Amino acid sequence: MQTKEPIRCALYQMNPKVGDFRGNAEKILSVARKAADAGCSLLVTPEMSLVGYPAEDWLLRDDFCAKARAELQRLAEKLADFPDLAVLVGVPEVAEGHRFNSIAVLRAGRIEALCRKQHLPEYGVFDETRIFTPGNNTTVVTVEGVKVGLCICEDLWYPDVAQKAKAMGAEILVACNASPYEAGKARQRERTVVGHAAAAGLGLIYVNCTGGQDELIFDGASFVSDDQGTIGLRLTAFDEEFAVFETAHSYEAVAVSEETPESELYKALTLAVRDYVRKSGFTDVVLGLSGGIDSAVVAAVAVKALGAEHVHAVMMPTRFTADLSVTEARKLASNLGIHYVVRPIEPLFAAFVSELSADFKDRKPDVTEENLQARIRGVLLMAYSNKFGQLVLTTGNKSETAVGYSTLYGDTAGAFAPIKDVFKTRVWALAREINREVGFELIPETIITRAPSAELREGQTDQDSLPDYAELDAILARYMEKREDEKTIARETGLPASLVHRIVTLVHRNEYKRRQSPPGPKVSALAFGRDWRFPITTKI
């Protein structure tokens, strides 16, 4: 990246908290001191860095936006201590009866300029046109004699804003972003935005936020590229990070990390759990540890995110729980170093069955009794949550969530579902990745290889009700993410059309369960929640 004059710039890959105006401002002020001490003339922070992203309907409240504006003014005044440093801060702007997604340029104690986002996304997880009005002017500011073009996230997924900035004399482009994570998106993001900047003959400073916010994960993965599209600096994904560079430096291409998809997924889920728990005001979590693969992976992720001392597990066996499940759960808890108790629920289950025996006379045991067990477990976990202030993690995966292989108010009871967007086949792969990273069988091999079972009746396995998970996941991925129709799925997979139809029917019949289930982090191209908007009542 070459400019007429060298400018020393700082990138702040920030993890903001929605609504924490003062906390976010103090973080920006702290790194501004570091940037000034390093001799920087420009500090770049992410989109909506002052208020967090997405703030959703908070942004429709005048009092929220007024507080943000007041904090912005306060921050600008404090930055007067660094008069030679221009600081870019993401903020909502209310003007002329409209709301704008803006970047404020703070310098020498005042708000020098405001850049408004021009392209507002309204697809997938985004709904910005509901809140904001698009801007119609491109902003170029001067830093140390260098003309710097400004844009905000979606603006750079189209070529026009970069071209406008170039026409206005920009020598370099800065993009402030809140671009959510999904598997494989970082490379696609780089190719698109770098391509548009390079096509305009501009180098690019791309700063993305990091952290978890409800169902979204922000991976950071900020970078700098030159006007030929060569990336010469990359920040560490999923970490809050501060970096300094000079635009006059020529860049050699920085190699892309050879991280495996499962390793990336492990980091993403860890960040999601850590931020959901801590930003919600909790320190500890509790979960049911069954001896199965799903709860094992969730427990391992929770320990990585929060530390073993903050993770609590309860094993709740009945007459149908295999001895192996109890043994393996205990072994896993010991490996993880977490607090673990066994609380048999057989007496509670027997009491329910006895109490209902007259009403259920002459009716054979069925899913009713199975669901009773799951709901008893959910009640106990919520009791631990209430008594000890521990947030409940649920352990259902995407495959089960899709087809309703879960008990409403039972194993869906809880606050956060870490693997809600992870297919069962990937859960197994993730378990092996976790073991590979630690260098031993943290998750016992028996847990990984044993046949999955809810253990709610004698000799039960998941495949009594579902097809093999490899087949199920193939159908679900094609139907959900590729939006293929049933005939295409059957033809492309070679699976029976009747099976494909049954799975698609189950997906839509169980929408009511998903609407009442806890949120979980989005890691795929299409996740249940913000991505998925089908009616509950429908003809299928």
Q: How far is CA 454 from CA 227, 265, 288, 437, 459, in A?
A: 56, 25, 12, 28, 10
Residue 145: strand, helix, or coil:
coil
**Using CA atoms, how far apart are residues 439 and 437, in angstroms rounded to an integer?**
6
Among candidate residues 304, 323, 261, the one with its CA nearest the CA of residue 443? 304
d(C-alpha 371, C-alpha 358), whole Å? 19
Active site residue 117: yes
Backbone angles phi, psi at 113, to 5 degrees: -160, 160
H/E stretch holding 346 reads: helix 346-356
Q: Is 65 a catalytic residue?
A: no
- Cis before residue 54, ω within 30 degrees of 0? yes
Mark whether 47 is an active-site residue.
yes
Concatenating the DSSP letter of every residue in 229-252 gives: S-EEEEPPTTS-EEEEEETTS--P
- Indicate if the alpha-carbon torsion angle 329, 331, 334, 335 is positive or negative: negative
* Catalytic annotation, pick one of 9, 40, 151, 153: 153
Q: How far apart are CA 371 and CA 123, in angstroms?
A: 37
- List the one residue out of 119, 107, 49 whose CA is nearest residue 83: 107
Closest Cα partner for 325 from 461, 471, 203?
A: 461
Q: Which of 40, 65, 115, 117 is catalytic?
A: 117
Q: Pick the catalytic residue from 47, 71, 471, 511.
A: 47
Looking at residue 101, the DSSP 8-state letter turns out to be E
Residues marked active site are found at 47, 117, 153
